[in-house]
Amino acid sequence: MWRRAVPYLAYAYVTFVGRTNRTRVVGEEVRERLHSRGRRFIYAFWHQRQVYFTWTHRGVDAAILVSRSRDGEMIAETMRLSRIEAVRGSSTRGGAGAAKEMVDILRAGRDVGITPDGPKGPARRVKPGVLRVAQLSGCPVVPIGNALSRRLELARAWDRFHVPLPFGRAAVVYGEPLEVGPSDDLEAKARELEVELDRVTEAADRLVAE
């Protein structure tokens, strides 16, 4: 019963947090520019910062990769309440099938999203899955970061997971699209994506500290 209740409580809490924070969005024209050209893309964001995106991207036409763990079940249901579709899989369970499903979704004309260091880390290290999806689909990766002036950091979590708090300032920052060609070195592309993800995340941190 408790596990069934958690998604509804989480949804209500994030709604409260979103409505009581002043949120600034920087670089959203990146998304608009790609869509105006008929292109879909892959959102990439660090696992640590995923919660607030269920508010800022509520109702977007996208499907987000969520692990097949028991916790993933609750996350997927919270996303459903937020009108965000979940694709179930991870680097350790159901990864190949989930990657194929995400490529199919992109080719059907919708965006997808991946936490490239999830679900278990190491923190802020890009795993190859997101780049393979980009390579197979021909769609770019768009790095995004967020930050809140008031938050809890879970010190025992592998990524010092952020829990957003109400009554503060928030920021979302988009980076430039990263293209992954058929012959590109995925390790080199992973380093590029790590640098850009850190850049937009740190930019969001600076905006809420101003």
β 22-26/169-174 pair status: parallel
pLDDT, tens only, 5-29: 999 999 999 999 999 999 999 999 9
User: Would you give the end-to-end CA distance of the chain in angstroms?
Assistant: 43
Written out in words, the top-level CATH class of the domain with range 2-209 is alpha beta
Q: Identify the band that residue 94 occupies on the pLDDT scale cut at 50, 70 and 90.
A: low
Supply the DSSP string of 41-106, one letter for each residue.
Answer: -EEE--GGGHHHHHHHTTT-SEEEEE-SSHHHHHHHHHHHHTT-EEEE--SSSSHHHHHHHHHHHH
Q: Identify the band that residue 92 occupies on the pLDDT scale cut at 50, 70 and 90.
A: low
Q: At what angle do helices 186-209 and 129-137 cross, to 10 degrees?
A: 110
**Region 63-70 average pLDDT:** 86
Radius of gyration of the chain (CA): 16
Q: In 3-state terms, the chain is what percent helix, strand and coil (to 5)?
A: 45, 20, 35
**pTM of model > 0.85:** yes
| Lookup: tokens for 132 | 């393979």
pLDDT beyond 90 at 95: no
The reported pLDDT for the residue numbered 4 is 84
